[in-house]
Chain A
Amino acid sequence: MRPFEYLRPTTLAEATDVLAEHGDDALVIAGGTAAVVMMTLGVLRPGTVVDVGRVPELGGSRADGGVLRLGALTTIRSIERDPAIAQTYGLLAEAASQVANVRVRNRATVGGSVCYGEPQTDMPPALIAMGASATLVSSSSTRTVPLADFFEGPYETALEPGELLSEITVPQPEPGSEPGAGTGGCHMKFTIGSPENKPVANASVLVRLDGAGRCVEARIVLGALGPVPVVAVDAAALLDGEVPDAKLIAEVASRAGDAADPADDLRGPVWYKRRIARVLVERALRCALRKAGHEVP
């Protein structure tokens, strides 16, 4: 690994000052599971590494006032295991449990998994499906960006030089108000070889039903099927006000597959990935509906 200057700020103010000073030459690391590997491979060769792993303001997570606040340093493993998250934000816990392997999940952080901008990861589609936003801070400003607008290309994000992601906020899914109504979320991935490999595709689906089983809200987000997560708006719109049956689910899945923008690579050709996308969306949608209390035969 090429030598670098190593800085370990201990407050958020110190961290943003350091980033303001070093700008583009600084690489922010938290868990290090991606950054250290990229430096070992020589893909990233920063002059300065800013280890924010000990900035207390970036740690901790809490749910209050109908919002889940995940400090940037919240590990994927703690999202996977937190009973409070599993109960109300189950889609996040489900996606977290599917990230890489347990060694990575123990170290990798939610902030890092988003800022890395890798198209094949599990957290971005789930967070976007849940309507999450990122808080970005610099030495002179603070702004909030919906995660749906955060990703700009493979490994490219809305982060400006000098900015740091401090927190991810996730609104609590609206509970159904009528008897039998409910919200359901499901994350699925399809991988060739062992399950911790990068997936051919993944899909996060969130649905909310009214008491008559009609869909009042649906979000479908695909990962690994384009340079950034694909929000399948048209496909989800087909569900508006409908009681989903097998035929409608197949139509939604087909439309979602059309929205995918995959590339040919080692994980398969474009036509194959589109077909996988359809199958995944169909399965994830059925799973989400089942959790919302609507089993489709």
Chain B
Amino acid sequence: MKITISINGKREQREIEPSRTLLELVREDFGLTGTKAYCHSGICGACTVLLDGAAVSSCSLLAAQADGADVTTIEGLAAGTTLHPIQQAFIDHFGFQCGYCTPGMVLLTKALLDEVPEPTREEIVRYMGGNICRCTGYAGILASVEAAAKALSGEIPAGET
């Protein structure tokens, strides 16, 4: 079947097998391998993408279901060579260890801060608890999210998180 999908702001048409997931489409057809495959069950959050702005697991969604939607992957956040303030905050606060969960964590942070610009620590934990870091580097991730919120709200200048 033919689908039309906007990936990171670029409108694309593809002929796809209906049995393929959005995760497979993004990685294999578009070569956007920043979206990670792991549990294939909607549990771990490594394959998180934004679908019309909402965080979803791309493994548990058919590509056909995303027909007509706007999809944002980790590759869509930076402006050229300038990192998105959330990405910069994750670097500044050591918000990753092996890095496998990081694309999902960064995109989930984007969804959270779009919804709640100044979340409390408890709100961050509740919202993001479903994305799993198997290195257990959660303290760094929490610090990164808090710093990103401050950078995005202008409390501290971008690049100085």
Q: Are B18 and A40 in contact (CB under 8 A)?
A: no
| Cβ contacts under 8 Å, A194 to chain B | 129-130, 132
Q: Are B40 and A40 in contact (CB under 8 A)?
A: yes
Q: Chain B: residues with CB nearer than 8 A to chain A?
A: 1, 17-21, 40-43, 45, 48, 51, 54-57, 59-62, 64-65, 108, 111, 127, 129-132
| Cβ contacts under 8 Å, B127 to chain A | 102
A2 CA / B17 CA spacing, docked (Å) = 10
Q: Are A37 and B60 in contact (CB under 8 A)?
A: yes
| Cβ contacts under 8 Å, B20 to chain A | 1
Q: With A6-B1, A37-B40 in contact, is A107–B17 under 8 Å at CB?
A: no
| Cβ contacts under 8 Å, A51 to chain B | 62, 64-65
Task: Check A157 for interface membership: any CB of B closer than 8 A.
Answer: no
From 14 to 60 in chain A, residues with beta carbon under 8 angstroms from any chain B beta carbon are 29, 32-34, 36-37, 39-41, 49, 51, 53
- Contact of B65 (CB < 8 Å), options: A2, A32, A100, A103: A32
Q: Are A196 and B64 in contact (CB under 8 A)?
A: no
| Cβ contacts under 8 Å, A272 to chain B | none
| Cβ contacts under 8 Å, B132 to chain A | 194
Q: Mark A150-167, 1 if CB is under 8 A from B, else 0.
A: 000000000000000000
Q: Contacts A102-B111, A104-B42, A107-B54 given; 9 further ones with Cβ under 8 A?
A: A6-B19, A32-B61, A33-B42, A51-B64, A77-B54, A106-B56, A107-B51, A107-B56, A194-B129
Q: Are B62 and A32 in contact (CB under 8 A)?
A: yes
| Cβ contacts under 8 Å, B131 to chain A | 101, 103
Task: Check A271 for interface membership: any CB of B closer than 8 A.
Answer: no
A101 CA / B55 CA spacing, docked (Å) = 10
Nearest CB on A from B19, distance (A): 4
Nearest CB on A from B26, distance (A): 15
Q: Are A8 and B64 in contact (CB under 8 A)?
A: yes
Q: Are A103 and B21 in contact (CB under 8 A)?
A: no
| Cβ contacts under 8 Å, B130 to chain A | 100-104, 194, 196
- Contact of B41 (CB < 8 Å), options: A32, A37, A49: A37
Q: Are B18 and A49 in contact (CB under 8 A)?
A: yes
| Cβ contacts under 8 Å, A37 to chain B | 40-42, 59-60
A106 CA / B53 CA spacing, docked (Å) = 10
Q: When A and B form their complex, which 8 residue pairs have the shortest distance between CB atoms, in order from nearest?
A: A101-B130, A6-B18, A1-B19, A106-B54, A196-B130, A36-B60, A103-B57, A3-B19
Q: Are A101 and B60 in contact (CB under 8 A)?
A: no
A51 CA / B56 CA spacing, docked (Å) = 18
A77 CA / B130 CA spacing, docked (Å) = 14
| Cβ contacts under 8 Å, B129 to chain A | 101, 194-196
Q: Are B18 and A4 in contact (CB under 8 A)?
A: yes
A103 CA / B111 CA spacing, docked (Å) = 10
| Cβ contacts under 8 Å, A2 to chain B | 19
A106 CA / B65 CA spacing, docked (Å) = 14
A53 CA / B52 CA spacing, docked (Å) = 15
Q: Mark A89-132, 1 if CB is under 8 A from B, else 0.
A: 00000000000111110110000000000000000000000000
| Cβ contacts under 8 Å, A8 to chain B | 64
- Contact of B62 (CB < 8 Å), options: A36, A101, A102, A103: A36
**CB-based nearest B residue for A8:** B64
- Contact of B17 (CB < 8 Å), options: A3, A29, A77, A100: A3
A36 CA / B54 CA spacing, docked (Å) = 18
A37 CA / B64 CA spacing, docked (Å) = 15
| Cβ contacts under 8 Å, B19 to chain A | 1-4, 6, 39
A8 CA / B64 CA spacing, docked (Å) = 9
A4 CA / B20 CA spacing, docked (Å) = 10
| Cβ contacts under 8 Å, B65 to chain A | 29, 32, 51, 53
Nearest CB on B from A111, distance (A): 15
A-B contact pairs, 30 of them (CB 8 A): A4-B18, A4-B19, A6-B18, A29-B65, A32-B65, A33-B42, A37-B41, A37-B60, A39-B19, A40-B40, A40-B59, A41-B41, A49-B18, A49-B62, A51-B64, A100-B42, A101-B45, A101-B129, A101-B131, A102-B108, A102-B127, A102-B130, A103-B45, A103-B57, A106-B54, A106-B55, A106-B56, A107-B51, A196-B43, A196-B129
